Copies of this chain bind each other. A is one copy, B any other.
Amino acid sequence: MSSPIRYYYDLMSQPSRALFIIFRLSNMPFEDCVVALRNGEHLTEDFKQQINRFQRVPCIHDNGYKLAESVAILRYLSAKGKIPEHLYPKYFVDQSRVDEFLEWQHMSLRLTCAMYFRTVWLEPLLTGRTPSEAKIETVRMHMERNLDVVEEVWLEGKDFLTGSALSVADIFAACEIEQTRMADYDVRIKYPKIRAWLKRVRQSCNPHYDVAHEFVYKISGTGPQAKL
């Protein structure tokens, strides 16, 4: 008899939140294995040997099979029939359009939103030093170059990133963008399409979206409805 997937995650991590929402929306049972990144639980030798050789989250254990990298995990579970087709298409042409987004985001949206978050929120917290205005301006500019592409290219003429309905692409993207709230960035001011799209993504994913973002809302002090 097979056990449920063991899911190692921390809701402070963007791809951890994305998979959490996707698993919940998919009604996929999983064993909750919370890893407290803030306590360095992923940095021990034991974690490296037993859980994930890359010492990161998210990752899964499926009856002994260990897999890391959120997008690889999503595809693996989709192939096992655990993810509904409307979230990640099975027809290869439709799937390629979602894949195109999932591959695009790493070095563009994800990288630059994470850099903004790290520079403005995380590093000051860890080091006690405030970043210079020039540094903040640079990371904001890099991030906004990619938000421009989301607004003008991905959301051009459609309600969701890869079509007329929600897919995993929207969930991964929203989790990256929500992270910047904690660094007091409000994406809704400059980007009306992203603003309306984020509302749609949240509505399509709730109650799981709000559960996953509870800590983000708390830190940012804005609450889920703020400025929406």
Residues of A within 8 A of B (CB): 53-54, 65, 67-73, 75-76, 79-80, 92-93, 95-97, 99-100, 102-104, 106-107, 110-111, 149, 153
A199 CB to nearest B CB, Å: 25
Tell me what chain A mostly uses at the interface: helix, strand, loop, or mixed.
Answer: helix
10 A-B pairs within 8 Å (CB atoms) are namely A54-B153, A68-B100, A70-B103, A75-B92, A79-B96, A80-B92, A106-B107, A107-B107, A107-B110, A111-B111
Known: A67-B97, A70-B103, A76-B92. 8 other contacts (CB 8 A): A54-B104, A67-B96, A75-B92, A75-B96, A76-B96, A107-B107, A107-B110, A111-B111
User: Nearest Cβ distance between residue A60 and chain B, in whole angstroms?
Assistant: 10
Known: A106-B107, A107-B106, A107-B110. A72 touches B53 (CB 8 A): no
Q: A68 contacts which chain B residues (CB < 8 A)? A: 100, 104
Question: Which residues of chain B come closer than 8 Å to A76, judged between CB atoms?
Answer: 92-93, 95-96, 99
A72 and B54 form a contact (CB under 8 A)? no
Most buried by B among A73, A96, A111: A96
Cα separation A103 to B106 with both chains bound (whole Å): 8
A93, chain B: closest CB distance, angstroms: 7
